[in-house]
Amino acid sequence: MGLFTKDIRNMDDLFIHQLKDVYYAEKRIVGTLPKMIDKTASPELKQDFETHLDQTKNHVKRVEQVFELHGVAAGTVMCPAIDGIIKEAEEIAGDVDNKNVLDAALIAAAQAVEHYEITRYGTLIAWAKELGADDCVDLLDQNLEEEKEADEKLTNLAEGSVNRAAA
Amino acid sequence: MGLFTKDIRNMDDLFIHQLKDVYYAEKRIVGTLPKMIDKTASPELKQDFETHLDQTKNHVKRVEQVFELHGVAAGTVMCPAIDGIIKEAEEIAGDVDNKNVLDAALIAAAQAVEHYEITRYGTLIAWAKELGADDCVDLLDQNLEEEKEADEKLTNLAEGSVNRAAA
Residues of B in contact with A103 (CB under 8 A): none
To the nearest whole Å, the CA of A92 is away from the closest chain B CA by 8
Q: Which residue of B lies nearest to A124 if distances are taken between CA atoms?
A: B108
pLDDT digits (tens, 9 = 90+) for A58-75: 999 999 999 999 999 999
- Average pLDDT over chain B reads 94
Residue extents of the structural domains in chain A: 11-166
Residues of A in contact with B20 (CB under 8 A): none
To the nearest whole Å, the CA of B3 is away from the closest chain A CA by 7
Count of CB atoms situated within 10 Å of the CB of A54 = 10
pLDDT band at B100 (very low <50, low <70, confident <90, very high): very high
pLDDT value at B5 more than 60:
no
- CA A15 to each of CA A45, A103, A121, B59, B152: distance values in angstroms, whole numbers, following the listed order: 34, 36, 11, 32, 21
Core vs surface per residue B38-63: b (16+ CB within 10 A) or e? ebbbbeebbebbeebbebbeebbebb
Residue A74 near residue A23, CB atoms below 8 Å: yes
A61 contact partners, CB below 8 Å, separation of at least 6: none
- CA B106 to each of CA A102, B21, B89, B154: distance values in angstroms, whole numbers, following the listed order: 35, 23, 7, 10
Query: Dihedral through CA A156, CA A157, CA A161, CA A164, nearest 10?
Result: -80
- Check if B69 contacts A (Cβ < 8 Å): no
pLDDT value at A93 more than 70:
yes
Length of chain A, in residues: 167
Asked if A92's CB is within 8 angstroms of B81's CB, the reply is no
Asked if B6's CB is within 8 angstroms of A130's CB, the reply is no
One-letter amino acid for residue B124 of the chain: L
The domain defined by A11-166 folds into Ferritin (1.20.1260)
Residue B67 near residue B73, CB atoms below 8 Å: yes
Asked if A166's CB is within 8 angstroms of B11's CB, the reply is yes
pLDDT value at B128 more than 70:
yes
pLDDT digits (tens, 9 = 90+) for B38-76: 999 999 999 999 999 999 999 999 999 999 999 999 999
Which stretches within chain B are classed as H helix?
Answer: 11-39, 43-69, 80-95, 99-130, 134-157, 163-166
Residues of B in contact with A39 (CB under 8 A): none
Residue A117 near residue A25, CB atoms below 8 Å: yes
pTM for the predicted model, two decimal places:
0.95
Alpha-carbon Rg for chain B, nearest whole angstrom, is 17
Asked if B7's CB is within 8 angstroms of A95's CB, the reply is yes
Q: Which residue of B lies nearest to A115 if distances are taken between CA atoms?
A: B115
pLDDT digits (tens, 9 = 90+) for A16-57: 999 999 999 999 999 999 999 999 999 999 999 999 999 999
**Measured distance CA(A84)–CA(A103) in Å, rounded:** 20
**Measured distance CA(A166)–CA(A158) in Å, rounded:** 10
B112 contact partners, CB below 8 Å, separation of at least 6: A81, A116, A119, A120, B85, B88, B89
pLDDT digits (tens, 9 = 90+) for B135-149: 999 999 999 999 999
SS3 A8: strand
**Measured distance CA(A128)–CA(A15) in Å, rounded:** 7
pLDDT digits (tens, 9 = 90+) for A97-129: 899 999 999 999 999 999 999 999 999 999 999
Burial of B160 (0-12, 13-18, 19+ CB in 10 A): exposed
- Check if B164 contacts A (Cβ < 8 Å): yes
